[in-house]
Amino acid sequence: TESASALDARAYDLDRAHVFHSWSAQAALKPLVIAGGKGSRVWDHSGRTYLDFSSQMVNTNIGHQHPKVVEAIKRQADTLTTIAPATANLARGEAAERITDVAPVGFNKVFFTNAGADAVENAIRMARLHTGRDKVLSTYRSYHGNTGAAIVATGDPRRFSNEYARGHVHFFGPYLYRTEFWATTPEQEAERALHHLRRVIEAEGPDSIAAILVETVPGTVGVLMPPPGYLPGVRALADEFGIVLILDEVMAGFGRTGEWLALDAYDVVPDLITFAKGSNSGYVPAGGVIISDPVAATFDDRVFPGGLTYSGHPLAMASIVATIEAMNEEGIVDNAATIGSDHIAPGLAALAEKHSVVGEVRGTGVFWALELVADRETREPLPAETMAKVKSELVARNLIPFTAGNRIHVVPPCIITPDEVAEAMSIYDDVLGSL
C-alpha cells in the first residue's frame, strides 16, 4: 500500500494537474490536502490535523462525519439512490416537512434545488411570476450565488464580469462601521438606509419591482448585523409597494446565528426564504426555496416554469432529515447561541482590546467577523498582502481560517466546544500579535 506521505503527494499532484479551481488564477494555488475529518477537525493522509474555524464554506454546521447523517445517507443509498422529481418519495416529503417546521407559520411548501445559487434563481422566478413585474432590488454588499441571475443580483465585485441578466438594481444596506449615510448610531443607520431604499424604489418605479432580495445577515461580505428596525422597515416598504420580500438564508440559516433561521431574531416574515448550506451541512449538495402560502397559491392552477433533474434528490433529502433531527436531539442550535455569547464574544472582545489592528468585532452565534485595519482612526482596511500573511500564519498554526477582504470571519461549526474556542483564540492572538 502507498505510504501516507505518498498519498498526500498524489492528491496534491493530481489536483494541480487536473482540477480547475473556483475564483482563482490557477498557477499559484497551493491547496491543502484534506483526507478526512470528524467534528470540527480535518486532517491529511499523514495525520496533520487542522481546527476548522471556516466550517469549509461556512456550511458544515453540524461538523464533519456526524454518524447519524452518514448512516442516513448509507441507508438511503441502499434503498434508492435517485428518483425523478415528479415522483412522490418519502425522504423528500419528510425533508420538506422538517424544513417547513423550522420556517415561520404560513410557509408550507419547499422547492428543492441543488444548492444556494439555484435557490436564489428560482425564488426570483417565483417573485417575477407572482407579481407580474421584472426588477429585482438587492444590496451592493451581498453574495447570492454564481449562476446567471444570482451572480447579477450579487452586489460585490464578483458581479462585474457577469452582468448579462436583466432588471437588477442595487442599493446600499446598513453597515454602520463604514456608513454610507453619515450615521453615528444604529438607529440613524437603519432609518437612513430605509429612506435610501424608499428613494430607490420610487426612482425605479414601484410597479416595475418584483422583489427585494437581501441576506438576513449579509455573510461573505462581512457578517453585517442589521440594526434594529431595518428588516421590519424593509418588510413595510415591500408591503407598501406590493413587492415580494426574499430573505436569503443560505449562509445565515440552520443554526449559524444561534437561531434555526436568522430571521427569527429580527421580527420579520418574508414571502420567500432561500436555504442551502447548513440544512444538511453539505454532506450531499442541496438547497431550496421555502414558499409562503400566498406565493405558493399563485402556482396552484398555473404552471411553475422551472425545474432541475436532481430537485429533491433522495440522498440529499435523507441527509436533511437526519441533520435536522440531530440538531434537535443534540441542542446544536442552542449550542451555537451559547458558545457565541459565552465564549466567542468575550474571546474576540479580548483580542480587540489587545490588538489595535482589530477595527471592529461583530456577529452572533457562530457567525462573527473581525475587521482588520491599518489605522483605527481612519479605519483604512489592512492591505491584501498583510491579509495573505494573516491567512498563511493561521494555517501554519493548524487553524483553517475564513478570510475575506480585510476580515477574518470566525465561523466554526455550531458544535464547537469551549476548549476548541479557547484553542482558536490563542492562535488568533498569536498571529495578530505577530503583525
CA quadruple 307, 310, 316, 321: dihedral sign:
positive
Comparison of 96 and 250: residue with beta carbon closer to ligand PLP: 250
Q: Is 215 in the site for ligand PLP (CB under 6 A)?
A: yes
Q: Is 219 in the site for ligand PLP (CB under 6 A)?
A: yes
Comparison of 220 and 364: residue with beta carbon closer to ligand PLP: 220
Answer for which of 276, 361, 369, 416 binds ligand PLP (CB under 6 A) is 276
Q: Which three cell numbers stand for residue 54?
A: 471556516
Min CB(159)–ligand PLP separation in Å: 13
Q: Is 224 in the site for ligand PLP (CB under 6 A)?
A: no
Q: Which of 50, 127, 28 is nearest to 394 (CA)?
A: 50
Q: Is 250 in the site for ligand PLP (CB under 6 A)?
A: yes
Min CB(219)–ligand PLP separation in Å: 5
- Cα angle: 310, vertex 52, 142; to 5 degrees: 60
Q: Is 326 in the site for ligand PLP (CB under 6 A)?
A: no
Q: How many helices (H) and strands (E) does the chain have?
A: 14, 16
Neighbours of 402 (CB within 10 A): 22
Comparison of 151 and 425: residue with beta carbon closer to ligand PLP: 151
> 255: Cβ–Cβ under 8 A, 6 or more apart, which residues?
61, 62, 278, 327, 332, 333, 336, 365, 366, 414
Answer for which of 39, 63, 145, 412 binds ligand PLP (CB under 6 A) is 145
Answer for which of 211, 225, 251, 361 binds ligand PLP (CB under 6 A) is 251
Distance CA 96, CA 70 (A): 19
Q: Is 55 in the site for ligand PLP (CB under 6 A)?
A: no
Distance CA 44, CA 331 (A): 30
Alpha helices in 53-115 (DSSP H): 55-58, 67-79, 90-102
Comparison of 173 and 347: residue with beta carbon closer to ligand PLP: 173
Would you report the helix, strand and coil content of the chain in percent, each value rounded to 5? 45, 20, 40
Q: Is 143 in the site for ligand PLP (CB under 6 A)?
A: yes
Min CB(203)–ligand PLP separation in Å: 26
Which range, of 5-13, 183-191, 245-253, 341-349, touches ligand PLP by CB under 6 A? 245-253
Q: Is 265 in the site for ligand PLP (CB under 6 A)?
A: no
Cα dihedral 253/257/262/265 (nearest 10): 160
- Specify the residue for cell string 498571529: 431
Q: Is 220 in the site for ligand PLP (CB under 6 A)?
A: yes
Answer for which of 66, 144, 256, 409 binds ligand PLP (CB under 6 A) is 144
Q: Which residue has the CB atom at the shortest distance from ligand PLP?
A: 116
Binding site for ligand PLP (CB under 6 A): 115-117, 120, 143-145, 215, 219-220, 248, 250-251, 276, 287
